[in-house]
């Protein structure tokens, strides 16, 4: 059993005893997603921490997308948003720490300079280089936004 799964089991036990419904729901959902991934067609090998982190990250990403869509649709005060936001905040503790926006911007500028590229047509190339070298260290949506900002910026 991977270390993340052990943490989830311990948290679930603690939350059940404490009656912490939010944590119980979040942990059960992630555990279900992990089982789903393990039984998915084409999955081979043991369930590692890396795979479990991917599962948690994918679930958090889907929650963020749902929050954005509900909010954009005018549902800013719906109780489900509070639930989703809690789960995002709670489950982020299971993910590796990512670079801040300032650190990401510095990485993007460094990568743009090292590749010697400019203009909006180079977004994919810069994104590819950063994600290849720093996938676990960065938030891909933040990287995309910063790359687009940096490459669309007029030269200084």
Residues 6+ apart with CB under 8 A from 88: 60, 63, 64, 67
For the chain, give the percent of residues with pLDDT over 70: 96
Looking at residue 155, its pLDDT comes to 60
Domains of the chain: 3-92 (1.10.1510.10), 101-152 (1.10.10.410)
How does DSSP classify residue 138?
Answer: S
Residues in the chain predicted with pLDDT less than 70, given as ranges, are 1-2, 75-76, 154-156
Q: What is the pTM of this model?
A: 0.70
Looking at residue 30, its pLDDT comes to 96
The continuous run of DSSP H or E covering 125 comes out as helix 123-134
Looking at residue 134, its pLDDT comes to 86
């Amino acid at each position: 059993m991977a270390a993340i799964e052990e943490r989830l089991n311990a948290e679930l036990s603690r939350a059940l005893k404490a009656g912490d419904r939010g944590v119980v729901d979040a942990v059960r959902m992630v555990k279900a997603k992990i089982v789903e991934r393990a039984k998915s067609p084409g999955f081979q090998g043991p369930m590692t921490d890396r795979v479990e982190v991917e599962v948690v990250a994918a679930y958090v990403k889907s929650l963020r997308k749902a929050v954005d869509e509900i909010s954009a649709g005018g549902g800013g005060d719906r109780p489900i948003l509070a639930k989703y936001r809690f789960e995002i905040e709670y489950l982020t503790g299971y993910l590796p720490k990512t670079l801040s926006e300032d650190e990401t911007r510095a990485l993007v500028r460094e990568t743009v300079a090292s590749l010697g590229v400019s203009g909006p047509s180079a977004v994919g190339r810069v994104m590819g280089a950063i994600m290849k070298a720093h996938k676990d260290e960065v938030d891909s949506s933040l990287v995309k936004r910063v790359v687009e900002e940096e490459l669309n910026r007029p030269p200084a």
